[in-house]
Amino acid sequence: MADVVDPLWEASSMALSRAHLAEARRIGDELAAIARSGLLLPGSIVERSTTCGRPGCSCQKDPPRRHGPYFQWTRKVAAKTVGRYLTREQRDDYTTWIANDRRAHELLRRLEELGIEALEADPRSRSAP
Ligand SMILES: [Zn+2]
């Protein structure tokens, strides 16, 4: 592939290190692959077994045989945790989606770290007065 110059990059007066650009491009490729898959889901999936209040139920015996397992997808919405029950098959499918979402966030954080490193290395940067 020809060495394409990004127009955004050309418009910038700043010089980024080769290592910075190379890493950003690797991250971009991986991020794009995740985005194109369309398989992203926030939150997490938990597995729960429960006890009930029914007298004499085996969930309360010793040793207990709890109900479940139940699979629940949980996530934060406006600082509150909300959940939805999933079938085992859904749990198997969506576990990958959640892993993709986490990886995408990790990659974005790494890009931000590169930005911070670049700003801190910028000779025009100075400490706060
Ligand atoms: Zn029970």
Lowest mean pLDDT segment, chosen from 9-13, 21-25, 103-107, 116-120? 9-13
Q: Which two tokens stand for residue 118?
A: 């670049």
Paired strand residues for 75: 82
- Given this model, what pLDDT does residue 1 score? 46
7 pLDDT higher than 70: no
Give the model's pLDDT for residue 15. Answer: 75
Question: pLDDT at residue 9 above 80?
Answer: no
Amino acid at 34: I
pLDDT tens by residue, 69-86 = 999 999 999 999 999 999
- Laid out side by side, the sheet with 44-50 consists of 44-50, 67-77, 80-86
Cα 64 to averaged position of ligand 1 atoms, centre (Å): 9
Q: What is the pLDDT of residue 77?
A: 93
Residue 20 CA: distances (Å) to CA of 30, 31, 43, 69, 100:
16, 16, 30, 46, 23
Q: Quick: pLDDT tens for 38-69.
A: 999 999 999 999 999 999 999 999 899 999 99
Residue pLDDT, tens place only, 84-128: 999 999 999 999 999 999 999 999 999 999 999 998 888 887 776
| Ligand 1 mean position, distance from CA 55 (Å) | 8
What average pLDDT does this structure show over 9-35? 86
CA of 95 to the centre of ligand 1 (A): 28
Tell me which H or E stretch contains 50.
strand 44-50
| Residue 56 CA to ligand 1 centre (angstroms) | 8
